[in-house]
Amino acid sequence: MASTAAGPASGVDRTSLDADDSVQLTDFTESIAWTAETEPTAGEVVEKENLVKEIVANQDSLRALLNRVNSVKDDCTKAESENETLQTYVESVTKSLAAASSNANGGKRR
């Protein structure tokens, strides 16, 4: 329950604190560290604006690339479908020619 360690920089004797108090103390000190505000310099503001512009430009480029990739995927799917149709047609013509050839050869033998 009681913590016996006291940090040298804390200046607090934690031997009398229970677990809930130490959590609150920790939350308080972390809160102070995170709320320390400084005004950004003009250079930092310009740098941040440039970074935001660069990020937006990169997002636009990625969006364009994604659209292009999707377009190419659609083209590939269409080409695969056309290839299957052509393959079916070629097989059908080949069978028809083979049947016609065997009928023609069979007719000559008689």
Same domain, 32 and 62: no
Q: Cite the beta strand spans of 6-71 per DSSP E.
A: none
> Given the structure tokens 């065997």, which residue do they identify?
102
> Is the residue at 12 inside a domain?
yes
In the chain, the number of structural domains is 2
Identify whether the C-beta of residue 5 lies closer than 8 Å to the C-beta of residue 14.
Answer: yes
The answer to whether 17 and 25 have CB atoms below 8 angstroms apart is: yes
Residues 30 and 57 in one domain: no
- Are 31 and 80 in a shared domain? no
Is there a domain that residue 105 lies in? Answer: yes
pLDDT digits over 70-109, tens only? Answer: 999 999 999 999 999 999 999 999 999 999 888 887 755 5
Tell me what pLDDT residue 23 has. Answer: 54
**CB under 8 Å to 3, separation ≥6 — which residues?**
14, 15, 17, 19, 22
Residue 42 placed within a domain: no
Same-domain status, 52 and 101? yes
Q: What is the mean pLDDT of residues 23-31?
A: 58
pLDDT of residue 75: 98
Q: Do both 96 and 65 map to the same domain?
A: yes
Answer yes or no: do 14 and 54 share one domain: no
Q: Are residues 65 and 99 in the same domain?
A: yes
**Residue 15 is part of which domain span?**
1-37
Which band of pLDDT confidence, cut at 50, 70 and 90, is reported for residue 3?
A: very low
Collapsed DSSP state (helix, strand, coil) of residue 85: helix
Distance, CA of 33 to CA of 80 (rounded, Å): 61
Query: To the nearest whole number, what is the mean pLDDT of the chain?
Result: 80
Same structural domain for residues 54 and 105?
yes
Q: Does 74 lie in the same domain as 54? A: yes
